[in-house]
Every structure is written in structure tokens, then in C-alpha cells.
Amino acid sequence: MKVAVDAMGGDQAPQVVVEGAVLAAREGHAVVLVGREPEVRGFLAGYPGAEQLPIEVVHAAEVVGMDEHPATAVRQKKDSSIVAGVRLLKDGGADAFYSAGNSGAVMAAALFVLGRQEGVHRPAIGGVIPLLEGRVFMVDIGANADCEAQNLLQFGHLGAAYMRHMFGIARPRVGLVNIGEEETKGNALVQATYPLLRESGLNFVGNVEGKDVTRGAADVVVTDGFTGNVMLKLAEGMQELMLGLVRGAIMSKPHYKLAGAVLRPGLREAGRRLDYTEHGGAPLVGVRGAVFIGHGRSNAKAIASGVRAAAHAARIGLVQKIQGDLLAASLSA
């Protein structure tokens, strides 16, 4: 399995991306770095023995900026690392694609070049969120700011299929993000979605509120891309806030500092549970290809973990398996 990696995507690209690719390649993953070849080769040369690693470089002259308008950028920059990388996947030169770049542009390129899976109206971005025990898959986390009930129903199917095949959960529990437990709660969108999910054949566990999500009440939580993105970033913000509080407490008195020094390795290990760099990026579900999106702030470890997830998806034939599930749920026309 070969993973095409957008060498120019992310706040510290290409340096950090190359580093991440080297990490992944050292584990045995085959990587194709797509981007400005001289720059990429320059960074690659800094790693002794890099020429022995399963890393190829494919040149792409253009770069899509983090703030560029996705559709416009993808239309105009045909030779960008994003478009070239997705095209490589389409043409069989790679089995998956990973980018920590402009996520809207990755989405647009995947739509234009790969197309949607049969029966899918709106592909979505899913996010794996680590919990105290296990994890939850939130979908959509930002691809579709305005949604209809039918879209949310499909997110439920896509999310369930993802968790089934990537994490081996036979019948993933699917929850609908809402502001109360009763079917009649919420805005017009979720009220219209509830009966669709109930009749979907999915293992629908009803509405879930913020606290249910963090307590692991569902394996998949369905929401529109606006709410999902706000949730994801608030969760990050709350982690930061809580860590700041703990740090502040430890620094407030000399004997706390001492106790804090003893505890530090334990706290660090606990923090790792929530560390996004360990969780392999966010899959784009509903397109005809294994595409993963990383955080713009991804470090090398996060890039490597994204490559690993993408390689795993390719290896198990994730996209075909999801298509099979969709067909079985007769989502396809």
C-alpha cells in the first residue's frame, strides 16, 4: 500500500511533513511525497539513510494556501500538491491520500477528481475523538455547514461503516447531537433527522448531549458540519483551559511544584490519551477513495499517524467496504 502525502500541506510544511513521512516510512509504510521536488528533496536529504526508505517524490509546482477559497484554488491550481496527490490516488499511483493542508480544498479536489460514492449526496469529514475509554467518531466536523436531514442520515451510515471497518465495532451505536433527550427537542434540522435515523436500520441510540458524547454514550455522533466543527474546537479549547488550570495549581505553591514534578510523567501519559497527534487524522467519508485530512498544526508524529491510518484504510479496502454497507442499507438509488 502506498500513501500519497501532500508535502506542502500544514503550517510547517514541507519540513514537518517530510519528517512525518520519514517516521512512517521507517515503520515500513510506502509514501509518495507530492510537492515542490527540490524543497522536498532538500529536507529529505537531511535524514541519513533516507534513500533506503520507501519514499518517492512526485513534483507538483503549486501550493494551495490555508486561507484560499477551496473550490477556486482547486480549479485554478491544477498542479498543486493537493490536486496532484488526489489525481495520483485516482490514477492508481497511490492507494490513499493524506493532507494537513487546506481541508476545504482537499474536499473539493476529492469531489472533482474522485467523485462521490454511489448514493451519497454530501461527503463529510469525520473526526475520531479520544475518550477516557475508547473513542467516538463525530461526523460531520466541517465539510457541510448547512445540512438537511437526509444528509445527517447519510452521515450516520457513513460513520457507522467507518467505525465498523476501521475499528471492528460490529454494530456501532449511533447518536444524534441534540440539546435534550426527547425526540421533540432541538432545532428543525435534528427534529427532522430523528425519525429518519430511528427507521434507518442503524443501531440508533437517540439524542446525545455534549456530556453524553464525552461519556461515550455512542460510537458515532451525527451532526451538521457547523455544530461539529464548533464542538471539535471547543473540546480542544477546553483541554487547553483545563491543562492551564492544573498547571496554574501546580505552580501556585512550592510544595505543589514538588508534587507536580512527581506527577508529571503520569499527567503526561494521561494527556496523551487526548492527543490528536496519536489519532490518525480525519477521514473524508463518502468519496471514491481513501482520503485523510490532518490538523494544520500537525507535527511529524501526527503526520506519521495520519499516514498509518490512511495505509490501514487502503489495506482493508475501506472505501469498497463502506460502499457495500451503503448498498446493503439501500442508500444507493
Residues that bind its own copies (CB under 8 A): 67, 131-132, 142, 145-146, 177-179, 182, 185-188, 190, 209-215, 224-227, 229-246, 248-250, 252-253, 255-256, 258-260, 262-263, 266-267, 269-271, 273-274
Q: Which is nearer to its own copies, 56 or 209 (CB)?
A: 209
> Shortest gap between Cβ of 65 and its own copies (angstroms)?
12
> Shortest gap between Cβ of 233 and its own copies (angstroms)?
3
> Shortest gap between Cβ of 259 and its own copies (angstroms)?
4
Q: Which is nearer to its own copies, 94 or 189 (CB)?
A: 189
Q: Which is nearer to its own copies, 198 or 272 (CB)?
A: 272
> Shortest gap between Cβ of 8 and its own copies (angstroms)?
20
Q: Which is nearer to its own copies, 119 or 260 (CB)?
A: 260
Residue 36: CB atoms within 10 Å: 20
> Shortest gap between Cβ of 25 and its own copies (angstroms)?
32
CA distance 23 to 178: 40
> Shortest gap between Cβ of 295 and its own copies (angstroms)?
12
Q: Which is nearer to its own copies, 198 or 264 (CB)?
A: 264
CA distance 20 to 72: 29
Q: Which is nearer to its own copies, 78 or 273 (CB)?
A: 273
> Shortest gap between Cβ of 149 and its own copies (angstroms)?
14
Cβ-contact 77, 52 below 8 angstroms = no
> Shortest gap between Cβ of 215 and its own copies (angstroms)?
7
> Shortest gap between Cβ of 78 and its own copies (angstroms)?
24
CA distance 299 to 277: 7
- Provide the Cα torsion 53, 42, 294, 61; round to 10°: -120
Q: Which is nearer to its own copies, 51 or 67 (CB)?
A: 67
CA distance 262 to 249: 14
Q: Rg (Cα) of the chain, in Å, rounded?
A: 20
Q: Which is nearer to its own copies, 61 or 243 (CB)?
A: 243
Concatenated DSSP letters for 50-119?
A: GGGSSEEEEE--B---TTS-HHHHHHH-TTBHHHHHHHHHHTTS-SEEEE-S-HHHHHHHIIIII-BPTT
The alpha-helical segments, DSSP class H, found in the chain are: 15-26, 37-44, 70-76, 81-90, 103-109, 149-167, 188-198, 210-214, 225-251, 254-273, 300-316, 318-328
CA distance 54 to 307: 13
Exposed/middle/buried for 219, CB within 10 Å: 0-12, 13-18, 19+? buried
C-alpha atoms less than 13 angstroms from C-alpha of 56 in its C-beta half-sphere: 12
Look up residue 38 and give its three cell numbers. 527540490
Question: What region, left, alpha or beta, does residue 197 occupy, with left being phi > 0 and alpha being psi -120 to 50 degrees?
Answer: alpha
Q: Which is nearer to its own copies, 170 or 262 (CB)?
A: 262
